[in-house]
Structure 1
């Protein structure tokens, strides 16, 4: 049987980018995606985690998701939507909304559940994907999808002899779920895995949370075995395959940092027929997401930078409407061996077309630093620091050198604190 589905991930609804909301960009992306769903009528939409940017998303971000799911169901009532939690999401939160989403043919998987006897509850983690047969007026299973949310150590270790540590627990969960899915699968049904994880060989960008140290915790694609037809990954924002064509990150639909501004932002449209030969059974079409707000970076000697600023286009959509959310983002990196003029920011803002750009950062490199990009630069960052940045600043101020293990420990504590804060708020 042929199954058609969309693979997307890492929406990060509710993101504040240097304290500016991305609501407009996300709204435009979701409207575009509705058009694609209406046109292609896929059997399923797979959203592979990091739906929200933070564990406690704003009400606006939650409304965006709920409105999208309602609109998607209206234009494609037979389509299923499967969502899993990423490391930025609260598994508890996304599972709580599931009863409200059943009417939209949507299923959320936020946590790995265990039976009272400490065995894995596979029922919630293996989902059928259906095709509606108009002749029989019945649904037929065309694929099985193993749904694996982000696997936090505290939620999967210590349940039995097979889960004594994080890595053994990950192997146990994958083996159990894949074996169970194979037992349910018939010869003409596809087998899909959706997972939010960092795979070995995956390329990161600067906006991904530093949860991996020295690549020690990155997962091997060997976990999936040879019988999986497609692996839909989330977590890394750059679209890429991992070793083999059928193991892929879809990437984020909008650039979440300046390091991602040149990525091909997309949603993958997958057509899969397990009965065909290996060379023909998988068709992958990348649907390019239109860029509504640009991330511009200007570099060069200071005089050259000022000239570039004066020649920036003053587009009607950015300037005349008077709304911040339509203005492009701007980062400046200039080369100079002299300290920055005290009124540099004022000079830059005067050179810019009025009310057209959102100036996020001014960064200076010396001539020597420009020749060696690994050397630290001085910068004026116009955004408030994150908890991780504050920790790194205090750590360095105490005279300690950078330590990846310490930073990972801090990030684990921060994640746990955010989870507890959410659970306490909900109770």
Structure 2
């Protein structure tokens, strides 16, 4: 069997206030051509399909148009989608009955049976070859929120850890799903696991990855995936990488989601299975439809010289003009800095997204440094506020509570929108 593993599309991302639909549309067109060219049997999308729990109609159209086009060009292609921590699990599953008619399986949440055991059957997706014979089982495990794996109604064995232990709950779900898959498989069928999680030891990108619920403390061990799992298709981390073994991989995001991610390549992964085993993996580089330039930090004159030397193509449509971040190291404030930078860019087919001013610290200066709230983010802002109030940084359990609250707010936003939408349809 031939699979294509991808993740972290973040459709609908607002990039410093600018939409990126043209880039995502170009990626999805390339992906569809690649699926056809490689004659893929299945496409695995390991979470963070959308950038926010309440994506725009345009972002949703990108996904559904892609699924329809893929089914038209490759009627036998199976698509398996799982929700990530940026997604609303309910929203991902809402059109699932319709998507199944297009050979697409959408899993957004885990469910528990009346006896407190995991409803594992709904998370097992059979993957068939061109003749319709089941060659593998996909263990499609969406992002696990604390409320889904802890508390009342969740059965825990004595050696599982307490029912309200989040990490133990994550481990428990993985273990029970693998047990269920083993009971369903037949000789010669491979097991392929999908998970949206943070594994111990994996490399995190500089600025664009939202912590999964409780920072690094929720990270899980690669040992959760035993040797009889032929391949583990992971999502969440944007840098493509293997974790310990070639069979355990993050595909990474297909596009850089921040200027800090522009320096390394982005890809999807082609996976070939031979019976129960992994035969080969191959990284397929994703063409970058829009270039990203990061100038500086450097003194103003050097920055202006670098801007003058940047190549551009005025013949390109505006939605293909490169994104630009400029970082200027200043000896003193320059009131007309933006005007001078924009003058250097006048007539160039470039889009300035961010201008960062870096002023030197004055020895003994008591005034706080200027804070860019957009780059700081809620978590670091909370840490700074706590330290200012109490004279010391917050402890790990305090940060855990803060991150849980942030995730609850994000989930509640998505649920409120869905409830309003359901009410409108009923009326």
> Structure 2-normalised TM-score?
0.88
> Of residues 322, 327, 338 in structure 2, which corresponds to 1:333?
327
Contact 2:333 2:359 in 1 (8 A): no
1:403 aligns with 2:404: no
Structure 1 residues 130 and 36: CA distance shift in structure 2, 3 A: same
> Of residues 312, 316, 321 in structure 2, which corresponds to 1:314?
312
1:291 aligns with 2:284: no
Aligned length: 404
1:417 aligns with 2:418: no
1:19-63 Cα distance to aligned partner (Å, 9 max, x none): 111111000000001101111121110000000000011110000
Residues 3-402 of structure 1: pairs in structure 2 closer than 5 A = 3-133=1-131, 139-158=132-151, 159-162=154-157, 163-205=163-205, 206-211=207-212, 215-274=216-275, 281-299=278-296, 300-318=298-316, 321=317, 323=318, 325-336=319-330, 338-354=331-347, 356-365=349-358, 391=382, 395=386, 398=389, 402=393
1: CA distance between counterparts of 2:41 and 2:73?
13
Contact 1:314 1:353 in 2 (8 A): no
SS of the residue corresponding to residue 104 of structure 1 reads coil
SS of the residue corresponding to residue 88 of structure 1 reads coil
The alpha-carbon deviation at position 7 of structure 1 amounts to 0.1
- Counterpart in 1 of 2:365? none
1:308-348 Cα distance to aligned partner (Å, 9 max, x none): 11222231245xx4x3x222111122333x22200000000
2: CA distance between counterparts of 1:404 and 1:38?
51
Structure 1 residues not aligned, in runs of 5+: 134-138, 370-375
1: CA distance between counterparts of 2:322 and 2:343?
17
The alpha-carbon deviation at position 235 of structure 1 amounts to 0.3
2: CA distance between counterparts of 1:394 and 1:27?
40
Contact 1:25 1:293 in 2 (8 A): yes
Superposition RMSD on alpha carbons, in Å? 2.4
1: CA distance between counterparts of 2:370 and 2:293?
19
Structure 1 residues 214 and 423: CA distance shift in structure 2, 3 A: closer
SS of the residue corresponding to residue 53 of structure 1 reads coil
The alpha-carbon deviation at position 415 of structure 1 amounts to 1.7
Contact 1:10 1:234 in 2 (8 A): yes
- Counterpart in 2 of 1:373? none
2: CA distance between counterparts of 1:211 and 1:150?
9
1: CA distance between counterparts of 2:343 and 2:350?
12
> Structure 1-normalised TM-score?
0.88
Structure 2 residues not aligned, in runs of 5+: 158-162, 363-367, 420-427
Contact 1:50 1:89 in 2 (8 A): yes
